[in-house]
Chain A
Amino acid sequence: VQATVPSASGEALAQELDQIFREHAPLMYRTAFSVTGSRQDAEDVLQTIFLRLLQREVPLEFRTSPKAYLYRASVNLALDIVRSRKRRNFSHDVELLEAPARAIEDDQIQRCLLDAFARLRPKAVEILILHYEHNYSDAEIAKMLGKSRGTIAVTLYRARGRLKRLMLRAISSTGEKQ
């Protein structure tokens, strides 16, 4: 999927990216923020993806469906960031920890939610974020990701179930530690 292909001329690609940034940056940012919970990470995701494109690392999928590609890339990169941080035992999210007005319990639940995302398959996260954060219907998700509506419905059902189990396990574990 990551095969680099010659794309439009430099200038044409530049204009194209300009337009694409305007259209899709909000979707990408919100997606990355939902997965990471961090403004800085969301910025990094957005910036990194466009830098790669500017480097002319333009995958085939981008040519056929820029929105789907950018969305998937945002989810994948955001998950990479979260997983990498977990491996290094970094704080989950500085911004969450710095939010005094937020109830501790809410923070814990949010942390468990983000941990659960990090344990799910990226395809499941893609659908969950579209469903919960972007309020897409099954049909809209299917259209965007190029899947059948039935596939989306089944995947979403399973992803919610797994998410619930992961969260319950994480919350129980958190409670025991306290």
Chain B
Amino acid sequence: MKPEMKNIDEVVKRHMPSASRGDMESDIGHVFHQLQLRDLGADYAAEEHVLTPPAGANFRWRIGMVAAAAAVLLAVFIGTVVWRQSPSFGVVENEDGSLYRVVEGKAQAIQQGTTLAVGETVRSNGSAGGTLSLADGSRVEMRSQSEFTVERANDGIRIRLIRGSIIVNAAKQFAGHLYVQTKDVIVSVVGTVFLVNAEEEGSRVAVIEGEVRVQQGTTTRNLLPGEQVATNPKMESLAVKEEIAWSRNADVHVALLQQSTISIADTSQKPEERLAFEVVSIRSSRPPAGGGGRGGGGEPCTGGGPKIDPRRFAVTNATLYNLITTAYNLGGNNGGTATRCANARALGTLSGGPDWNSARFDIEGVIPEGLADYTVRTVGGVSVYEPGPKLQKMLQAMLAERFNLVMRRDIKEMPVYALTVAKNGPKLTPWKEGDPVNFGGYSEGGPSRDRTQLVSIITGNKAPIAQLAGRLEIVTQRPVLDRSGILGEFTFRLEFAPPPAFTGFPSLFPGIPVMTSPSVFKALEEQLGLKLEAATAPVEVLAIERVEKPSEN
């Protein structure tokens, strides 16, 4: 039967889809969360979202959050991709029957093929040690009577050498670093072969191939092949090839050492291989159009993410801190550039800086042909550019040359939280094929699922625990170390009371009260079976030692 079409108005009004108020409020609330959660760096998990540090009475959108996915992914790469693909830290490649894992203080023998988890301690008690393959492709050869543990660092992997010697053949790190830390020295690399020795009286680092950065207290030094450094001058000094003589692969290492020394000399004669933009243009950002006089305003962590093509890197309205965040890949897996920048400053892992720290710059760099390492992801119809390590190096060089920036890496003993398993065990839902794949994130406030309260949420989809730890840093404003020992990827949603400063959104969600409990600490225990324990721990921090406002061109 055909409808009566004489009165088109009546037909249209009757049949035009019209959202019910309840559906609309629910869906808008969902979008609201999503926009905050968009830090999510990428469709595979979350593109950028954006964590909003509990900074003020109103929730704030984090501009650049989308863009930040770039940096997010870098952090995620080290911290996540590598570990996601192989959530254990490594596998025993070969051993002489005397390798042990230390569980609750007791040594358990391990054999070839044994998989070791992040946080486990490995000990070699025999006469020949053993070799382990790490998840990222790095290999660690242990001397006898040595002991180390592997943990996640903010931007990579950290081998904590408790005693003895190891030779590390570090796989190329896609972003961030592999660290070896002893009680008095930190070695950071991006792909190289080197030895670290930890003794009572001090530590020694020797390089076989590549370049490593060695930090002892406030002193940092780069070592090239054949060079070595000891933290205690009383330590016996041996040539590098003698230091590595105990290795099963000593011959290979010595050959590599000789080859590397030559190749470094050759490389130094090829300036075109230095990672730097060909041309850099720096200008102060234009004042905002119609910006209501907010102009130079004091937000030191702001600016959109970069736009990159094979020959061009461009960023607009970026502050010095934001540039440093991108160049040094700060802030871990915590959202967009601005968010990670703000978080690094709040945590104290990025400190110092000039009084013009809210000045904004438009920067364009011409990338040498063939050296643009970046990825582009489309998130919600928006392109998110992620610079790779080469581009980061170029940015670092630009900051050093044009801003005369000098950074100092330190280790500070800081208050942290350790993320551990609660007494009744974890309540985590493993991610499975077909479940949503996105980063999730942290939203300071928005409707709960049943729309009865405004809550803070942390979500994760296909997320390792390290990602949850990253989100918790934003909420607690302290570094959160993953000490859960839990491997794998999970789907979770944690709902908890927003920070006291959060007052809700009366105009958007009228009449919906703000949740007052549980706290994030209690919610974590009740909902996910995890807990945060206060502790102190050495944390790597970056300090701006010197910087100057660049001249424009």
Contact = CB atoms under 8 A, between A and B. Distances in A.
Interface of A: 5-15, 17-18, 21-23, 25-26, 29-30, 33-34, 36-37, 39, 42-43, 46-48, 50-52, 54-57, 63, 96, 105-106, 109-110, 113-114, 128, 132-133, 160, 163-164, 167-168, 171-172, 175
A29 B28 contact: yes
A7 B11 contact: no
B19 A33 contact: yes
A12 B60 contact: no
A133 B18 contact: yes
Given A12-B297, A175-B2, A18 B61 contact: yes
A29 B16 contact: no
A164 B8 CA distance: 6
Contacts of A51: 35, 38, 66, 379-382
Given A18-B60, A42-B27, A163-B12, A33 B17 contact: yes
B506 to A, nearest CB: 9
A55 B15 CA distance: 36
Contacts of B61: 14-15, 17-18, 54
21 contacts: A6-B289, A6-B317, A8-B288, A8-B291, A9-B288, A9-B302, A10-B63, A10-B299, A30-B19, A34-B16, A46-B27, A51-B381, A54-B35, A57-B382, A110-B15, A113-B15, A128-B12, A160-B9, A163-B8, A167-B11, A175-B2
Given A10-B63, A33-B17, A48-B381, 18 more contacts: A9-B295, A9-B302, A18-B59, A18-B61, A21-B32, A26-B28, A29-B19, A30-B24, A43-B27, A48-B380, A55-B382, A56-B316, A106-B15, A110-B16, A132-B12, A160-B9, A163-B8, A171-B5
B63 A47 contact: no
Contact of A55 (B12, B66, B292, B317): B66
A105 B299 CA distance: 57
A164 B291 CA distance: 45
B63 A46 contact: no
A105 B61 CA distance: 45
Given A51-B35, A51-B381, A33 B291 contact: no
A15 B12 contact: no
Contact of B17 (A26, A56, A63, A110): A110
Interface of B: 1-3, 5, 8-9, 11-13, 15-19, 23-24, 27-28, 30-32, 34-35, 38, 58-67, 285-286, 288-292, 294-295, 297, 299, 302-304, 316-317, 338, 360, 379-382, 505, 507-508
B452 to A, nearest CB: 20
Most buried by B among A13, A30, A160: A13
Contact of B304 (A10, A39, A63, A171): A10
A26 B292 contact: no
Contacts of A47: 31, 34-35, 380
A interface, by DSSP: helix, strand, loop or mixed?
Answer: helix
Contact of B23 (A12, A17, A39): A39
Contacts of A160: 8-9
Contacts of A164: 5, 8
Nearest to A96: B17
B15 A109 contact: yes
Contacts of A12: 288, 291-292, 294, 297
Most buried by B among A6, A11, A50, A96: A11
Contact of A14 (B12, B19, B60): B60
Nearest to A44: B380
A10 B28 CA distance: 23
Most buried by B among A21, A37, A128: A21
B16 A113 contact: yes
A8 B58 CA distance: 19
Contacts of B295: 9
Nearest to A106: B15
A6 B17 CA distance: 37
A54 B19 contact: no
Contacts of A36: 17
B551 to A, nearest CB: 21
B27 A39 contact: yes
A11 B8 contact: no
The 10 A-B pairs with the shortest beta carbon distances in the complex, nearest first, are A10-B302, A8-B291, A10-B63, A8-B288, A37-B17, A11-B299, A14-B61, A12-B294, A51-B380, A33-B19
